[in-house]
């Protein structure tokens, strides 16, 4: 009889309850979408953050460049071995660098030796005219910064002659880099070529890594790497990792605030509807009490009605919310956010809780006195 009564109550107040269920569906939809976004935001944002470039630096202790060559250098094989040994799926790119100041066609330039095929992964924001050198076979190809190309009137396919001390290398320009920074004044060539030119075989100035994840995660990885490289300094590039962490925290706070605000507004909407419904049902409650219905049993019946509304609203809203989060992901990140079904029960539980909180006026029905209700009529 309980379920029969519940069904009749739901049918009997369809119009008024439609307002409440609409509010609950809307709430569940937005909450579900935001929760889905919240769960995926770290992965999405850290992917986005990686376009900002390297965020971890391995360098000699007290590294500086004196004159035209680095005062202290590191052993490339030691660094490579350490990066290989401290495996982490969050390492998106890693590249060693050897910097020397040489000349190109009698003009002083910074010569940077690195693994050129790692540059697009390490610095995704850099734009290039021409192509990234992607083959180790192209030993004599180089990438030149935009300013260097302008100053030396170089174009893609041009030849450039680099000189360091008394050594000389003839290279072909594979691409012109527009980095929007100091890199526009540099010439990038394969690390082995630069080491040969600088007379520093097997040596590097420093190494840069692009590591995705939270500030804490990156710090943990840095600590592990530092333990494997005790002779060198391993540190996160603080400005970048802190800015990333701060932005992530702010977005999370925004999402949580919105969930709380939407939940409160929905509870108020349900509260208004239920207050009106409670007034309408005073006569029914008076009768039920006259027939021997206990306060607990009657209020349980009405709260169950609200619970069913909350569950139904949560169910429908959660499904719509997952679709909404996909759409939001597409709009904000350019790719759909993957649906997390574990959000589903939590959305329903939250919506039921909101509905029950909004149904507090129904508790007042417990105070209805049948004799007074009948006398009013």
The reply on whether position 16 binds other proteins by CB under 8 A is: no
In contact, 317 and 363? CB cutoff 8 Å: no
* Cβ nearer to other proteins, comparing 87 with 367: 367
Find the binder of other proteins among 3, 67, 291, 334 (CB under 8 A): 291
Span from 212-220, 256-264, 304-312, 367-375 in contact with other proteins (CB under 8 A): 367-375
DSSP characters over 304-339 = HHHHHHHHHHHHHHHHHHHHHHHHHHHHHHSSPPPP
The reply on whether position 300 binds other proteins by CB under 8 A is: no
Partners of residue 100 on adjacent β-strands: 111
The reply on whether position 133 binds other proteins by CB under 8 A is: no
The reply on whether position 371 binds other proteins by CB under 8 A is: yes
In the complex, least distance from residue 15 CB atom to other proteins, rounded to whole angstroms: 12
Strands 141-145, 69-70: pairing is unpaired
The reply on whether position 217 binds other proteins by CB under 8 A is: no
The reply on whether position 260 binds other proteins by CB under 8 A is: no
The reply on whether position 292 binds other proteins by CB under 8 A is: yes
What's the CA gap between 131 and 143, in Å, rounded? 9
What dihedral do alpha carbons 56, 59, 62, 64 form, nearest 10°?
Answer: -100
What's the CA gap between 333 and 320, in Å, rounded? 20
The reply on whether position 3 binds other proteins by CB under 8 A is: no
Span from 2-10, 67-75, 137-145, 265-273 in contact with other proteins (CB under 8 A): 2-10
In the complex, least distance from residue 311 CB atom to other proteins, rounded to whole angstroms: 21
The reply on whether position 284 binds other proteins by CB under 8 A is: yes
* Cβ nearer to other proteins, comparing 5 with 237: 5
What's the CA gap between 100 and 109, in Å, rounded? 9
The reply on whether position 376 binds other proteins by CB under 8 A is: no
279: its two tokens? 């007034």
User: Within its chain, how far is the Cα of 334 from the centroid?
Assistant: 13
The reply on whether position 332 binds other proteins by CB under 8 A is: no
Find the binder of other proteins among 165, 290, 335, 345 (CB under 8 A): 290
The reply on whether position 374 binds other proteins by CB under 8 A is: yes
* Cβ nearer to other proteins, comparing 260 with 290: 290
The reply on whether position 295 binds other proteins by CB under 8 A is: yes
The reply on whether position 2 binds other proteins by CB under 8 A is: yes
The reply on whether position 287 binds other proteins by CB under 8 A is: yes
Longest CA–CA span in the chain (Å) reads 112
In the complex, least distance from residue 327 CB atom to other proteins, rounded to whole angstroms: 40
The reply on whether position 289 binds other proteins by CB under 8 A is: yes
The reply on whether position 81 binds other proteins by CB under 8 A is: no
In contact, 237 and 56? CB cutoff 8 Å: yes
* Cβ nearer to other proteins, comparing 62 with 377: 377
Rg (C-alpha) for the chain, rounded Å, is 33
User: Residues 6 or more apart from 188 whose CB is under 8 A from it?
Assistant: 112, 113, 114, 116, 119, 142, 143, 144, 145, 177
In contact, 137 and 167? CB cutoff 8 Å: no
* Cβ nearer to other proteins, comparing 63 with 373: 373
In the complex, least distance from residue 281 CB atom to other proteins, rounded to whole angstroms: 10
* DSSP tag of 106: T
Please count the residues of this chain forming the interface with other proteins, following the rule CB under 8 A.
26
Partners of residue 225 on adjacent β-strands: none
In contact, 112 and 95? CB cutoff 8 Å: no
Span from 15-23, 293-301, 310-318, 333-341 in contact with other proteins (CB under 8 A): 293-301
DSSP characters over 151-200 = HHT--TT-EEEEEETTEEEEEEEEEEEE-SSGGGGEEEEEHHHHHHHHT-
Helix axes 238-280, 343-358, angle to 10 degrees: 40
Kindly list the residues in this chain that would bind other proteins in the complex (CB under 8 A): 1-2, 4-5, 8-9, 11-12, 283-284, 287-295, 297, 369-371, 374-375, 377
């Amino acid at each position: 009889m309980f379920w029969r009564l519940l069904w009749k109550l739901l049918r009997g107040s369809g119009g008024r309850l439609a307002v409440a269920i609409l509010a609950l569906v809307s709430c569940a939809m937005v909450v579900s979408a935001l929760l889905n976004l919240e769960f995926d935001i770290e992965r999405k944002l850290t992917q986005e953050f990686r376009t900002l470039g390297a965020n971890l630096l391995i360098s000699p202790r007290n590294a500086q460049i004196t004159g035209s060559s680095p005062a202290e250098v590191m052993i490339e094989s030691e660094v490579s071995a350490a990066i290989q040994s401290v495996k982490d799926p969050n390492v998106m790119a890693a590249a060693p660098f050897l910097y020397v100041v040489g000349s190109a066609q009698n003009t002083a330039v910074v010569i940077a030796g690195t693994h050129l095929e790692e540059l697009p992964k390490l610095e995704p924001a850099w734009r290039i005219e021409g192509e990234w050198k992607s083959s180790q076979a192209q030993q004599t190809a180089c990438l030149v910064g935009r300013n260097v190309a302008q100053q030396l009137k170089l174009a893609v396919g041009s030849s450039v002659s680099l000189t360091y001390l008394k050594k000389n290398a003839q290279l072909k320009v594979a691409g012109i880099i527009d980095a929007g920074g100091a890199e526009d004044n540099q010439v990038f060539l394969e690390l082995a070529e630069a080491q040969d030119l600088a007379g520093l075989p097997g040596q590097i100035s420093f190494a840069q890594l692009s590591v995705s994840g939270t500030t804490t995660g990156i710090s943990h990885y840095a600590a592990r790497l530092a333990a494997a490289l005790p002779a060198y300094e391993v540190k996160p590039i603080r400005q970048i990792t802190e800015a990333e962490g701060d932005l992530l925290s702010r977005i999370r706070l925004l999402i949580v605030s919105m969930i709380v605000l939407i939940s409160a507004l929905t509870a108020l909407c349900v509260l208004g509807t239920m207050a009106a419904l409670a007034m309408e049902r005073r006569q029914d409650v008076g009768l039920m009490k006259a027939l021997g219905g206990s306060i607990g049993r009657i209020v349980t019946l009405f709260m169950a009605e609200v619970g069913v509304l909350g569950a139904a609203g949560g169910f429908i809203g959660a499904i719509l919310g997952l679709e909404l989060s996909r759409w939001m992901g597409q709009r904000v990140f350019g790719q759909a956010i993957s649906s997390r079904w574990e959000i589903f029960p939590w959305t329903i539980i939250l919506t039921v809780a909101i509905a029950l909180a909004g149904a507090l006026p129904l508790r007042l029905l417990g105070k209805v006195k049948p004799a007074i209700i009948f006398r009013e009529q």
